Amino acid sequence: MPWLSCCHRAPKSKREDQYKVAEEPEEVNVEENQGEAMFSWERRPQMDIDKYRIHDLEGATEIRRGIAGQPMAIETCKNSKLLVLDHTSTITVDDCSDCLIVLAPCAGSVFLRDCQSCTVLVACQQLRTRDCRSLHIALHCATQPIIEETSDAIFHPLVLHYDAFVDDLIAARLSPFSRHSTSVHDFTPEKGSLHYKISREALELSSDYASVLASQRLLADVNDSDIPYCQEPFGKSHYFQAVNSDGEQRLTFVKRCQKVAQAVVASPPLRLVSTNEIDLQKHGSKLGISTKNSSTLVVLEVSGDGDVLEQIMTDGGFEKVPEHSESTFASSLAAINQIMLS
């Protein structure tokens, strides 16, 4: 679907041409050509483009499922609630205003262009905005988000739950524990002017927006979120780590670590400060961890102490990084994150 292949935007007058489906090949007379090989396009079912496009809505609520990793386009919508509840490969959102836009995990880039006064909830590999203003974005992003010719954008951590959210994250090759949404690259900065803000607080939705999510069994709550909610530490923090080994399936491992992180968030004496997921085959040596029979490491940084924390970590199969090694471990973790960001 070529209209989603890059961030460059075609002129509006020609946009409709981007959605034309190629003419079907001439029909083959099966009776006259029995035994002849069929071309691939004769066997391949035609794609219903409208299924992957939301456009020209005003004052509407639109829910899309069954996208199954295909690209998605949203265009020219006003004062609407738009929910895409299946993983995608890329998404473009153009010319939308005063909309709630909820996007299931995207394996590639999400582009927001010429949008204003929108609330966006999204997990993606990359986020880029262009010619936008007054955006509230709850974001979980594997890379540093990029803004261009954008003003008054506020970024919040994404807190979200629905039944298939973790499966969609994994299908989109995203981790609930790895994020680089705490910094933004402004491609068009202005001296003396800041075009964005970063908040560590979860985005508070209006009752109208919250009711739309609830009607689809979505929750945007800190305690229910499948992406662990992190806060500033109070006092000293400690690192805890868990590896998936001995053939443990990725989904099982992720859910095990999620359960531990959620237990920390739900315990008032404790505070989850940061989370990381590390590919041990690439970076294990930097942390001094053997990669034999292990592939992935999840690290939770927790502020607080006591029996409650010890019990949560023991039950979830996490081990504490020794205090004498914490400084070196933290430095190595920061270096790995910088490599992953670049």
**For the residues of 193-262, what is the DSSP string, one character each?**
B--EEE-SSPPPPPHHHHHHHHHTT-B--TTT-SS-------S-EEEEEEEEETT--HHHHHHHHHHHHH
Is pLDDT above 80 for 291? no
Q: How much is the pLDDT for 286?
A: 76
Is pLDDT above 70 for 269? yes
Smallest Cα–Cα separation from 331: which of 292, 296, 287? 287
Q: How does pLDDT run across 176-185, given as a tens digit for each residue?
A: 999 877 789 9
**Which tokens is 187 given?**
């491609």
Residues 28-46, buried b or exposed e (16+ Cβ, 10 A)? eeeeeeeeeeeeeeeeeee
Query: What are the φ/ψ torsions at residue 148 (nearest 5 degrees)?
Result: -145, 130
Q: Is 126 annotated as a binding residue?
A: yes
- CA 265 – CA 224 distance, rounded (Å): 10
Is pLDDT above 90 for 81? yes
E strands, the chain, in order: 53-55, 61-64, 72-75, 81-84, 91-94, 100-113, 116-130, 133-141, 146-148, 151-157, 185-186, 196-198, 237-245, 271-279, 294-303, 319-320
Its pTM surpasses 0.75: yes
Q: What CATH architecture is 237-341?
A: 2-Layer Sandwich (3.30)
Q: Could you tell me if 166 and 255 are in contact, meaning their C-beta atoms sit under 8 angstroms apart?
A: yes
- CA 161 – CA 145 distance, rounded (Å): 22
Instruction: Specify the CATH number for 50-216; select among 3.40.50.2000, 2.160.20.70, 2.60.40.10, 1.20.120.140.
Output: 2.160.20.70
**Which tokens is 157 given?**
């951590």
- CA 121 – CA 87 distance, rounded (Å): 13
pLDDT band at 338 (very low <50, low <70, confident <90, very high): confident
Q: How does pLDDT run across 112-161, given as a tens digit for each residue?
A: 999 999 999 999 999 999 999 999 999 999 999 999 999 999 999 999 99
Q: Could you tell me if 56 and 36 are in contact, meaning their C-beta atoms sit under 8 angstroms apart?
A: no
Range 50-79 average pLDDT = 97
Q: Which residues contact 74 (CB under 8 A, 6 or more apart)?
A: 53, 54, 55, 82, 84, 91, 92, 93, 94, 96, 101
Q: Could you tell me if 23 and 41 are in contact, meaning their C-beta atoms sit under 8 angstroms apart?
A: no
Q: Is 65 annotated as a binding residue?
A: no
Q: Could you tell me if 88 and 70 are in contact, meaning their C-beta atoms sit under 8 angstroms apart?
A: yes
Q: How much is the pLDDT for 320?
A: 94
Q: Is 297 annotated as a binding residue?
A: no
Range 226-252 average pLDDT = 90
In the chain, count of helices (H) and strands (E)?
7, 16
pLDDT band at 15 (very low <50, low <70, confident <90, very high): very low
**Which tokens is 93 given?**
């959102």
Q: Where are the domains of the chain?
A: 50-216, 237-341
Q: Is 109 annotated as a binding residue?
A: yes
Q: How does pLDDT run across 297-321, given as a tens digit for each residue?
A: 999 999 998 899 999 999 999 999 9
Q: How much is the pLDDT for 282?
A: 80
| Beta pairing, strands 100-113 & 91-94 | parallel
Tell me how far apart the 2 most distant CA atoms of the chain are, in Å.
81
Q: Could you tell me if 318 and 259 are in contact, meaning their C-beta atoms sit under 8 angstroms apart?
A: no
- CA 4 – CA 49 distance, rounded (Å): 13
